[in-house]
Each structure stands twice: as structure tokens, then as C-alpha cells.
Amino acid sequence: MPKYEGLIFRPPSEADSLILQVEIGCSNNTCTFCYSYKDKKLRIRSLEEIESDLRETLPYAKRVRKVFLADGDALVIKTDKLLKILNLLYKYYPNLWRVGIYATALNVLHKTDDELRKLKDAGLGIIYLGIESGDDVILRRVKKNMTSAQMVEACKRILKIGFELSITIILGLGGKNRWRENAIETARVINEINAPTYIGALTLMIPRGTPLFEEYIAGEFEPLTDLEILKEMRLLIDQIDITNKSIFRSNHASNYLPLGGTLPDDKEKLLEVIDNVIKNPIGKLRPEYYRRL
Ligand code: SF4
């Protein structure tokens, strides 16, 4: 097994992937709702450390088909080094068909098209990017350090180069006083990207130890109820108006209602499901105590 430092996070769709920790922590690490890497000091692992991990996996190397590069924004790593890592991966794993990575919009914008193309050609296949919200007021409040315009630009470049793009958005991130803006502005960003390959909706959780938890305790942040979250999700889906296809999912364990479909084709079906659950929610929503990050 590779060696891991601290808690490891990966997208739900990388459940069957080998997780390789090439970065420790997250270069941003300021988001008020995120506790994932707060206890880690940013460090990029050396090629020697990474290769020693790969040697550990040799007994089952032929079974590795997907690799996910952690931690929080491994695309921050310099392109030359990432290319060396990708070359090593395809050398060690003869049946490897996809490598995925977490990135922030800034990581993408700090690379040239030529660098991104080289990474694509070297076998990086999918980029997971946390947009969180399309509303700039919310992005500022949660200290994301990026604007919605930067999110759109980064996502459009990812798609132009030919990567798959999986974005995450957070329902409820605006709390009670910006739920409408969270839905409408996030839909606007998705429409401008036209369209992410995958849209993953999470529902806000407020872990202890985060700055957002402090705001919540101080009464400065009022979270939405389960039904209000559904209303926000309904408005978001209703406002999405894309011509290219995008797979929408709310199957993450933080959500009250797991949904899945392809937009724009399944838009009416998704709205109908939400409407029916809003009308009769009993027994249809994930209980609070089953929700997870
Ligand atoms: S949400 Fe993403 S960018 Fe923000 S601190 Fe967490 S991992 Fe880093």
C-alpha cells in the first residue's frame, strides 16, 4: 500500500481508484467551510517518495486502471514534475486508462494552454474542480479566494483542452439570506461553462473546528433546512440552461435527496421528482444523522 499522511479525501467516482498522495494539504486552505486539510502544512512530495509508493503497489500493478492524485489541489504542482509523475504511473501500471486530479481555478489559470495540453497528452484525464458557488458575494464570504469569472475561465480552458471536467457545487452555502443567489448565480456559471462533463451537488455541512462553525455558533450564519435545500436545488436546476450535455448528480452522502440525470434532457424529470418530494417528503429524505462529508 502507498503511504498516506493524515486524512485522505477523494471524489465519490474515484472509489475504485488507487489514491496516490502527491501533495500534502491544499495550497489555498482558507475556505471557511472546509476542514479537510486544516491540520496539514502544504508540501509537495518528492519523486523518490512517490516512486517508493508505486513500488509498494507492484504486486497488484496490473489491476490498477484508475489513479487519483491527492491531496486538495495537486494541480498546483509544477507541470514538469506532474509530467514525470504521469510518466511513472503509465510505466508502473500497464492497464492504466485514467488519471484524475483535484484542482482549483487558480491552479488551472497559472498554467498555459501548452502546459495543460502536455498534461492531457501524458494521460491526465479528468480534473475535479470545486466551484462551490457562482455567487461572488458567497465566494468572498467563504474565503474561496477566487471569483466566479475565474471559475468560468478555468473551466472553459479545461474543456477546450479536452479533459473531462467534474465540478462540485455546495447547496446551502449562502445560508438563509443568499439561497436564491446561490442557486441563480451557480446556474449562471454552469451556463457560461456550457457545460461541465459532470456536476456534483453537495449539501453544506458545518464541521466543528471550521471558521464557518464559529459563525454558526455566533448566530452569524443561518443554515437551510432540508426542505429549503430542496427548494434551492429546484431553482438551480430550473435555471440551468445549457446546450451541451452534463451529468448532474446529488449522490454524495451530504445530500438529503440523491438525484441523477443528464442535463438538459432530464431537466423536467428532475424537477418533477423534487416537486413530488417537496409535496410529500416523509421517508424520502436522508436523515440528518446519516449525512456525511
Ligand atoms: S475547499 Fe478546496 S480549495 Fe478550499 S480549502 Fe478545501 S480543499 Fe482547499
- Give nearest CA residue, ligand 1 atom 8: 29
- Give nearest CA residue, ligand 1 atom 7: 72
Ligand 1 pocket, residue 31 CB under 6 Å: yes
Closest ligand 1 atom to residue 104 Cα is 3
Cis peptide before 223 (omega within 30 of 0): no
Ligand 1 pocket, residue 175 CB under 6 Å: no
Distance 38 CA to ligand 1 centre (A): 9
Q: Per-residue pLDDT for 2 more than 90?
A: no
Q: Residue 167, exposed/middle/buried by CB under 10 A (0-12, 13-18, 19+)?
A: buried
Return the residue matching grid coordinates 446556474. Answer: 187
**Pocket probe mutation, ligand 1, options 73, 139, 143, max atoms within 8 Å of Cβ:** 73
Q: For helices 79-92 and 113-121, what crossing angle results, to 10°?
A: 10
- Mean pLDDT, rounded, of the chain: 97
Distance 275 CA to ligand 1 centre (A): 32
Q: What's the pTM value of the predicted model, to 2 decimals?
A: 0.97
- Give nearest CA residue, ligand 1 atom 6: 34
Q: Is residue 1 part of a domain?
A: no
Q: Per-residue pLDDT for 270 more than 90?
A: yes
Distance 143 CA to ligand 1 centre (A): 10
Closest ligand 1 atom to residue 30 Cα is 5
Q: Is residue 153 part of a domain?
A: yes
- Give nearest CA residue, ligand 1 atom 5: 29
Q: Per-residue pLDDT for 3 more than 90?
A: no
Mean pLDDT along residues 32-49: 94
Give the domain range for residue 220: 12-290
Q: Is residue 239 part of a domain?
A: yes
CA distances, 161 to each of 84, 210, 259 (Å): 20, 36, 29
pLDDT digits (tens, 9 = 90+) for 45-89: 999 999 999 999 999 999 999 999 999 999 999 999 999 999 999
The domain that holds 135 is classified in CATH as 3.20.20.70
Distance 139 CA to ligand 1 centre (A): 12
Closest ligand 1 atom to residue 71 Cα is 7
Ligand 1 pocket, residue 36 CB under 6 Å: yes
- Give nearest CA residue, ligand 1 atom 4: 31
Distance 196 CA to ligand 1 centre (A): 19
Mean pLDDT along residues 101-128: 98
Q: Is residue 219 part of a domain?
A: yes
Report the chain's terminal Cα–Cα distance, integer Å: 24
Q: Is residue 41 part of a domain?
A: yes
Q: Per-residue pLDDT for 293 more than 90?
A: no
Q: Is residue 7 part of a domain?
A: no
Distance 249 CA to ligand 1 centre (A): 20
pLDDT digits (tens, 9 = 90+) for 155-192: 999 999 999 999 999 999 999 999 999 999 999 999 99
CA distances, 154 to each of 57, 103, 157, 251, 259 (Å): 34, 10, 5, 25, 27
Q: Is residue 60 part of a domain?
A: yes
pLDDT digits (tens, 9 = 90+) for 233-256: 999 999 999 999 999 999 999 999
Distance 26 CA to ligand 1 centre (A): 6
Q: Is residue 275 part of a domain?
A: yes
Sign of CA dihedral 168, 173, 174, 179: positive
Ligand 1 pocket, residue 28 CB under 6 Å: yes
Distance 198 CA to ligand 1 centre (A): 19
Structural domain total, the chain: 1
User: What percent of the chain stands above pLDDT 70?
Assistant: 100
